[in-house]
Chains A and B, each alone.
Chain A
Amino acid sequence: MTRTPSRADRAWPPSWLLVARTELRRRLRNRSAIVTAFVGPVALAAVFGVLLSGTSSIDVTIAVADDDASALTSDFTGSLVDADTGGDPDDHRDDPVTFVAIDAADAVQAVDDGEVDAAIVIPAGFGASITSGGGGELSVIRDPAGRISGAIAEAVAREFTIALSSRRLAAATAVSLGTAVDPASLDTFVDSTTTAIVEEEPGGGTIDAAGFYGVGMSIMFLFFTVSFAARSIVAERHNGVVPRMLASSAAPWEVATGKVVAVSALGLAGFTTVWGVTSLLFGSSWGSPVAVVALMVCTVLAVAGVATFVCGLARTEPQADGYTSMVAFALALLGGNFVGPGQAPAALRRVASFTPNGQAIDAFSRVAVDGAGIVDVLPQMAALLAFAVLLGSMGLARVTRVMTS
């Protein structure tokens, strides 16, 4: 009557996949999967979409230092600064980007001190050089941690150079045709082009608040979703199911891995739902789909690593709940989930780079704002995978010890 299956019999699926499959089946059966992967994320996306759609949470101050003070550059600086100070002040209260005039000598210090987020410096002689047909060079001073403000300043400077090139091209064309050039018409052309710079989206992407907070809150939501693994393991240790799995051929790490894989799949589904809802219903652009999917997977793995680590610390369900909440909120605060784009103080930006969610938010922002592709965010993806491997392996080792002790 006895038959002992050989190893070959159980090669596929492995125990961890059997555990994961059963965990998903149970969560679909009791509908918690529906809530976790769809209802919750849809509600999350809807709240941020309805409340924040069409608004921008960018609040960036860029200084413009015109050392040249030529007619050419005055047109440019004047159009930027006057646009922010002229007319009814109420019209500018919600402007996401503010331009202020500054002396070139003070520009670096102002950025260092955080008085402004970035500065554009037009050197003396710039206008003369351009007018004489030579080249010119603008300087953009940016805080390395203030990526969004730097991107905006660079975009503005770039558009100014494009406008100058257009003017030079128009003038050269008119001269070559033997036509008298009316300077006023060129000014109008330049003004209209320059004005258009401010209204264009910086970097070619969109950083609307719904999308930004959608990412941040999705990661937060992910922490709680993935923490279900910890609670599940603790509960099933006490009701005898985990010991029974261990008494069969499943190893402790396989049980833990199966649980984490199952809830990570749900977390990924939830993340994707937020992406879909904010994109399709509220017009957010998260950037390159390939990069977004890759980042989502890396983020889920990193959060799963954190959750596995937390799981290893908990011996009771209340402990699992408490530890998860504590870690999720602490990381959310430190990682910048609650701070709008470009608004985090420099110290917080530095701290955020040491958190998985900080790395994830930075990478998602790059993809959305800078139009970065998957190659551009490889460092962030590597950091996220490092979090996943380091914390996940420590967590699994701890879980294994707890399960057999």
Chain B
Amino acid sequence: MSGTDQREHSGAPVPGTAPSLPLLRCDGLVRRFGERTAVDGVSFHISAGETYGLLGPNGAGKTTTISMIAGILRPDGGRVELDGRRVDAHDPEAKRSLGLVPQEIALFDDLSAEENLRFFGSLQGLRGADLRARVAATLELVGLSDRAKDRISEFSGGMQRRANIAVGLLHRPRLLVLDEPTAGVDPQSRNQILESIEQLRAEGMAVLYTTHYMEEAERLCDRVGIIDRGRIVAEGTRRELVAQIGEHDRLVVRADGPLDAFAATVGTLAGVREVHVGTGSIDVVVDDAASTLAAVVDAATSDHVVVTGIEVREPNLEAVFLHLTGTALRDRGD
């Protein structure tokens, strides 16, 4: 995705949440299935309130990594610590800090949404009035209050996805782990899901989000780890990752008037790396398109150039992935 609506998060905790030790710390995780090493020394951390994206194609090791973090699979090497407690020792207390939303619709389809939430909430230790209140609040959050009594089998695909997410949120975990939650979802439901996650992020919940959709990672995540063949090959904010591969933002300014003079003026602006004059437009390579854009428009005005259009081209994670792995992400996705 390329455009001006992209968000760039700082990677710092959300205002109001104090910086602290990492909420989740994965150190050298290894998992083998027979001769095949699915996860090979994966290390990363997530701070409280941070949204971390694990981006990679199918088979890269995302789900295996998540399964070890959730205590479902025992690592062959390395360790997972959640809130200072080791998870891979099947510590129930540590697990209660985590909410898992699996890739599959991991619900009993012959039970209602409310019954599913009550069951999984009970497994998390919730009881009585507290459980009932949380079930109601969570169904409200995902927009399923009016269908609470309906069986999951009667839901649309998008509603099933939202119910799937609701179970992960029910016990108010400190870390929500979502494994490709929008896979196979229609655009409307997908947007609803992404908005829900943005809301949780705004409320300060840490999120680990796996996807092979770059636009989702770019929209949601403070930092991204690119995983390929069981290894994290790069990690950082989008800007940091782009910088790692030497890519920069571009401003394509379509204009009428003395373009050579305009290009010369723009070339003197701070943060501008290169300027190329084309037919009816100039192509400006900048460090940061957002912070340079206003100065470029001012330069056009001072040079008596009439701007007819501006296109912002930010190098995306697809380019990063292509650069790091030699293949396009979508070529190896679904």
- Are chains A and B native binding partners rather than an unrelated pairing? yes
Q: How far, in angstroms, from A2 to B98 measured CA to CA in the complex?
A: 11
**CB-based contact A243/B67 at 8 Å:** yes
A30 in the interface, Cβ–Cβ < 8 Å?
A: yes
Q: Which residue of A lies closest to B120 (CB)?
A: A248
- The count of A-to-B residue pairs whose CB atoms sit within 8 angstroms is 97
Of the residues B70, B98, B111, contact of A26 by C-beta under 8 Å: B111
B328 in the interface, Cβ–Cβ < 8 Å?
A: no
Q: Chain A residues with Cβ under 8 A from B111's Cβ?
A: 22, 25-26, 29
A5 in the interface, Cβ–Cβ < 8 Å?
A: yes
A247 in the interface, Cβ–Cβ < 8 Å?
A: yes
Q: Chain A residues with Cβ under 8 A from B102's Cβ?
A: 240, 243-244
**CB-based contact B172/A1 at 8 Å:** yes
Q: Chain A residues with Cβ under 8 A from B73's Cβ?
A: 404-405
**CB-based contact B127/A240 at 8 Å:** no
B110 in the interface, Cβ–Cβ < 8 Å?
A: yes
A110 in the interface, Cβ–Cβ < 8 Å?
A: no
B256 in the interface, Cβ–Cβ < 8 Å?
A: no
Q: How far, in angstroms, from A144 to B212 measured CA to CA in the complex?
A: 71
**CB-based contact B74/A245 at 8 Å:** no
Contact (A240, B124) CB under 8 Å given A4-B97, A25-B111, A29-B110: no
**CB-based contact A10/B103 at 8 Å:** no
Interface size on B, residues (CB 8 A): 40
B298 in the interface, Cβ–Cβ < 8 Å?
A: no
Contact (A248, B124) CB under 8 Å given A1-B204, A239-B105: yes
**CB-based contact B104/A3 at 8 Å:** no
Of the residues A3, A4, A13, A245, contact of B93 by C-beta under 8 Å: A4
Q: Chain A residues with Cβ under 8 A from B107's Cβ?
A: 241
**CB-based contact B124/A244 at 8 Å:** no
A9 in the interface, Cβ–Cβ < 8 Å?
A: yes
Q: How far, in angstroms, from A249 to B122 measured CA to CA in the complex?
A: 10
Q: Which residue of A lies closest to B95 (CB)?
A: A249
B226 in the interface, Cβ–Cβ < 8 Å?
A: no
Contact (A243, B70) CB under 8 Å given A5-B125, A9-B125, A9-B127: yes
Q: How far, in angstroms, from A4 to B124 measured CA to CA in the complex?
A: 9
Rounded to whole Å, the gap between the CB of A34 and the closest CB of chain B is 14
**CB-based contact B105/A246 at 8 Å:** no
- Apart from A248-B95, A248-B123, what are 6 other A-B pairs with CB-CB below 8 Å? A2-B173, A3-B172, A6-B125, A10-B122, A10-B124, A249-B95
List 5 contacting pairs A-B, 8 Å CB cutoff, sorted by A: A9-B125, A243-B72, A243-B100, A247-B100, A251-B92
Q: Give the 9 A-B CB pairs with smallest separation, nearest first.
A: A240-B106, A5-B125, A240-B104, A249-B92, A10-B125, A240-B102, A247-B70, A248-B123, A247-B100
Which residues in A have some Cβ–Cβ distance to B below 8 Å? 1-7, 9-10, 13, 15, 18, 22, 25-26, 29-30, 239-241, 243-251, 404-405
